[in-house]
């Protein structure tokens, strides 16, 4: 079967032929990959910018955002059958399982020994067929298939928003989202659905199609973010910007960072203290966050979701992984 393989030693990405995976345990499911999404993590991976771990395997099938259709189920699988649509969760527990992994919260792994399909230690889904234990597969109703490739990035947003709401100490509801990528757009839409007045700030001009799309759905768009906000979600990938945005927190505000890397800057602990501020980092998603993504996918505006996806053929990966992403649609998806 066709597979997109990253040779980590040669730093080369190439299409290779790989043997098809087979069921090896009664709790496993074999499925055909229908779509695979590409994100910043994939681009960092193929360009060698992603922080690797010692002992990572020398070559890896990339791709972690996937939508598939079940072909075959093991004897012990309940609740999934041939023809069902599924979205796989990415992270697999460390072994022996730490207390978080043992209770199914691989996203909170305590040892760092977890694996992630298509990222760390395990082949991903930029290929034709895959096998996973049923517990890692989320069943997607047929009516949600068109946008189901957004479930994984949406699950990351769901976990982050749930964390922010859990530590929030007031009912104030102004929100700022930084970044016009898929995570930023999904965060803006989810916060709006939770009753927030949302402004999204990013570098793109206001007449950018994605900005216009957001404004059509009631999210304010701007290239600046003066004012104070009760909840800020950073999804722009800029630590310099994150330093600035922390200063825009209102009283008892919550700041969630999803994309910022490292930067040297100033941070005021005294503002944090007297402002009752909370700063949260979040990565990956729990099974519950995947369920919330499924629920929200049904209620978010379909026109906005549709405008977020641009589809490519399997072999067109140079355009989505290396070239500067063209067009207005932020989520690149390969149809396998
Ligand atoms: Zn991703
Ligand atoms: Zn663990």
CATH label of the domain that carries residue 315: 3.90.180.10
Ligand 1 centroid – CA 207 distance (Å): 27
Judgement on whether residues 213 and 168 belong to the same structural domain of the protein = yes
Task: Please identify, among 266, 281, 296, the residue that sits at the C-terminal boundary of a domain.
Answer: 281
Ligand 2 centroid – CA 285 distance (Å): 14
Query: 105: domain range?
Result: 2-140+307-335
What does the pLDDT read at residue 28? 98
Q: Is 322 a member of any domain?
A: yes
Judgement on whether residues 160 and 250 belong to the same structural domain of the protein = yes
Beta strand spans in 74-105 (E): 85-88, 91-92
Q: Is 292 a member of any domain?
A: no
The C-alpha atoms of residue 326 and residue 310 are separated, in whole angstroms, by: 10
Task: Give the closest ligand to the alpha carbon of residue 90.
Answer: 1
Closest CA to 236 of 201, 275, 285, 190: 201
Judgement on whether residues 158 and 131 belong to the same structural domain of the protein = no
Are the CB atoms for 169 and 55 separated by under 8 Å? no
Q: What is the CATH number of the domain that holds 229?
A: 3.40.50.720
Task: Give the closest ligand to the alpha carbon of residue 114.
Answer: 2
Judgement on whether residues 56 and 114 belong to the same structural domain of the protein = yes
Q: Is 17 a member of any domain?
A: yes
Judgement on whether residues 243 and 327 belong to the same structural domain of the protein = no
Ligand 2 centroid – CA 120 distance (Å): 14
Ligand 2 centroid – CA 52 distance (Å): 17
Task: Give the closest ligand to the alpha carbon of residue 39.
Answer: 1
Task: Give the closest ligand to the alpha carbon of residue 284.
Answer: 1
Judgement on whether residues 176 and 233 belong to the same structural domain of the protein = yes
Ligand 1 centroid – CA 283 distance (Å): 11
Ligand 1 centroid – CA 19 distance (Å): 25
Judgement on whether residues 108 and 159 belong to the same structural domain of the protein = no
Q: Is 196 a member of any domain?
A: yes
What does the pLDDT read at residue 324? 64
Determine the number of helices (DSSP H) and then strands (DSSP E) in the chain: 10, 19
Whole-Å CA distances, 263 to 239, 241, 254, 259? 5, 10, 20, 12
Query: Cα 18 from chain centroid?
Result: 27
Ligand 1 centroid – CA 40 distance (Å): 7
Q: Is 297 a member of any domain?
A: no
Ligand 2 centroid – CA 91 distance (Å): 10
Q: Is 146 a member of any domain?
A: no
Ligand 1 centroid – CA 289 distance (Å): 15
Ligand 1 centroid – CA 170 distance (Å): 32
Task: Give the closest ligand to the alpha carbon of residue 36.
Answer: 1
What does the pLDDT read at residue 51? 80
Q: Is 320 a member of any domain?
A: yes
- What is the chain's pLDDT, residue by residue, as a tens digit (336 residues)? 999 999 988 889 999 999 999 999 999 999 999 999 999 899 989 988 888 776 788 899 999 999 999 999 999 999 999 999 999 999 999 999 999 999 999 999 999 999 999 999 999 999 999 999 999 999 999 999 999 999 999 999 999 999 999 999 999 999 999 999 999 999 999 999 999 999 999 999 999 989 999 999 999 999 999 999 999 999 998 899 999 999 999 999 999 999 898 889 889 999 999 999 999 999 999 999 999 999 999 999 999 999 899 999 999 999 899 866 554 457 899 999
Task: Give the closest ligand to the alpha carbon of residue 182.
Answer: 1
The DSSP H or E segment spanning 288 is: helix 287-299
178: burial class by Cβ within 10 Å (0-12, 13-18, 19+)? Answer: buried
Ligand 1 centroid – CA 246 distance (Å): 25
What does the pLDDT read at residue 48? 86
Ligand 2 centroid – CA 104 distance (Å): 9
Judgement on whether residues 159 and 207 belong to the same structural domain of the protein = yes
Task: Please identify, among 281, 299, 325, the residue that sits at the C-terminal boundary of a domain.
Answer: 281
Ligand 2 centroid – CA 100 distance (Å): 6
Ligand 2 centroid – CA 286 distance (Å): 13
Residues with CB under 5 A from ligand 1 (ion): 39, 41, 65
Task: Give the closest ligand to the alpha carbon of residue 95.
Answer: 2
Are the CB atoms for 291 and 138 separated by under 8 Å? yes
Ligand 2 centroid – CA 103 distance (Å): 10
Ligand 1 centroid – CA 286 distance (Å): 15
Q: Is 203 a member of any domain?
A: yes
How many structural domains comprise the chain? 2
Judgement on whether residues 275 and 212 belong to the same structural domain of the protein = yes
Task: Please identify, among 281, 296, 321, the residue that sits at the C-terminal boundary of a domain.
Answer: 281
Judgement on whether residues 23 and 125 belong to the same structural domain of the protein = yes
Ligand 1 centroid – CA 153 distance (Å): 6
Judgement on whether residues 233 and 184 belong to the same structural domain of the protein = yes
What does the pLDDT read at residue 50? 83
Judgement on whether residues 50 and 88 belong to the same structural domain of the protein = yes
């Amino acid at each position: 079967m066709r597979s997109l393989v990253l040779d980590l030693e040669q730093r080369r990405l190439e299409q290779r032929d790989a043997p098809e995976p087979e069921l090896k345990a009664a709790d496993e499911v074999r499925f055909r990959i229908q779509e695979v999404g590409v994100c910043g993590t994939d681009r960092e991976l193929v360009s060698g910018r992603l922080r690797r771990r010692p002992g990572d395997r020398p070559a890896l099938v990339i791709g972690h955002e996937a939508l598939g259709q079940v072909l075959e189920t093991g004897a012990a699988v309940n609740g999934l059958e041939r023809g069902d649509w599924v979205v796989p969760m990415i992270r697999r527990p460390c072994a022996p399982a730490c207390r978080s992994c043992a209770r199914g919260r691989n996203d909170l792994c305590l040892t760092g020994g977890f694996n992630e399909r298509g990222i760390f230690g395990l082949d991903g889904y930029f290929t034709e067929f895959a096998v996973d234990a049923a517990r890692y597969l989320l069943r997607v109703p047929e009516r949600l298939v068109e946008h189901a490739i957004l479930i994984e990035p949406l699950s990351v947003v769901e976990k982050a928003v749930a964390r922010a709401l859990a530590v929030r100490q007031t009912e104030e509801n102004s929100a700022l989202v930084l970044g016009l990528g898929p995570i930023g757009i999904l965060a803006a839409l989810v916060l709006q659905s939770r009753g927030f007045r949302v402004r999204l700030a990013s570098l793109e001009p206001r007449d950018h199609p994605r900005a216009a799309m957001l404004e059509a759905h009631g999210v304010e768009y701007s290239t600046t973010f003066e004012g104070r906000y009760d909840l800020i979600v950073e999804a722009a990938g800029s630590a310099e910007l994150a330093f600035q945005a922390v200063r825009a927190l209102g009283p008892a505000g919550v700041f969630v960072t999803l994309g910022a890397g490292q930067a040297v800057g100033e941070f005021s602990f005294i503002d944090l203290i007297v402002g009752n501020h909370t700063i949260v980092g979040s990565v990956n998603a729990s099974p519950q966050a995947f369920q919330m993504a499924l629920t929200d996918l049904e209620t978010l505006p379909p026109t906005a979701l549709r405008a977020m996806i641009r589809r490519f053929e399997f072999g067109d990966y140079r355009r989505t992984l290396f070239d500067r992403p063209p067009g207005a649609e932020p989520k690149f998806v390969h149809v396998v």
